Amino acid sequence: MTKPILKVENLGIRFGGLQAVDNFHLEIGKNELVGLIGPNGAGKTTVFNMLTGVYQPTEGTIELEGVKMNGKKPHQMVEAGISRTFQNIRLFKKMTVLDNVKAAFNHKMHYNLFESMFRCGSYWKEEAEVTVQAHELLQSVGLDEYADQLAENLPYGQQRKLEIARALGTGCKVLLLDEPAAGMNPTETAELMNTIFRLREEKGLSILLIEHDMSLVMGLCERLVAIDYGRIIAEGTPYEVANNPKVIAAYLGAEEEQNAESK
Residues in the site for Mg ion, rule: CB under 5 A?
Answer: 44-45, 87
Nearer to ligand ATP, 15 or 124 (CB): 15
Nearer to ligand ATP, 14 or 108 (CB): 14
Nearer to ligand ATP, 36 or 205 (CB): 36
- Residue 45: in which H helix or E strand, if any? helix 44-51
- Looking at the DSSP bridge assignments, the partners of residue 231 are 228
Q: Does 250 bind ligand ATP (CB under 6 A)?
A: no
With CB cut-offs between 5 and 8 Å by kind, which of Mg ion, ligand ATP, none does residue 91 bind?
Answer: none
Contact between 196 and 209 under an 8 Å Cβ cutoff? The reply is yes
Q: Does 46 bind ligand ATP (CB under 6 A)?
A: yes
CA dist list (Å): 207 to 82, 90, 128, 229: 10, 19, 29, 23
Q: What's the min distance (Å) between Cβ of 3 and ligand ATP?
A: 28
Nearer to Mg ion, 137 or 210 (CB): 210
HSE toward the beta carbon, residue 253, CA cutoff 13 A: 13
Q: What's the min distance (Å) between Cβ of 99 and ligand ATP?
A: 29
- Pick from 44, 72, 102, 160 the residue near ligand ATP by CB under 6 A: 44
Contact between 47 and 11 under an 8 Å Cβ cutoff? The reply is yes
- Give me the 183-222 binding string for ligand ATP, x by CB under 6 A, dash otherwise: -----------------------------x----------
Spatial separation of the C-alpha atoms in residues 112 and 180, rounded to whole Å:
35
Torsion on CA atoms 134, 135, 140, 141, rounded to nearest 10: 80
Q: Give the distance, in angstroms, between the CA of residue 88 and the centroid of all CA atoms in the same chain.
A: 12
Q: Which residues contact 161 (CB under 8 A, 6 or more apart)?
A: 141, 142, 143, 192, 195
- Pick from 38, 57, 60, 169 the residue near ligand ATP by CB under 6 A: 38
Nearer to ligand ATP, 123 or 251 (CB): 251
Residues forming contacts to ligand ATP in the complex (CB under 6 A) are: 15, 18, 20, 38, 40-46, 87, 212
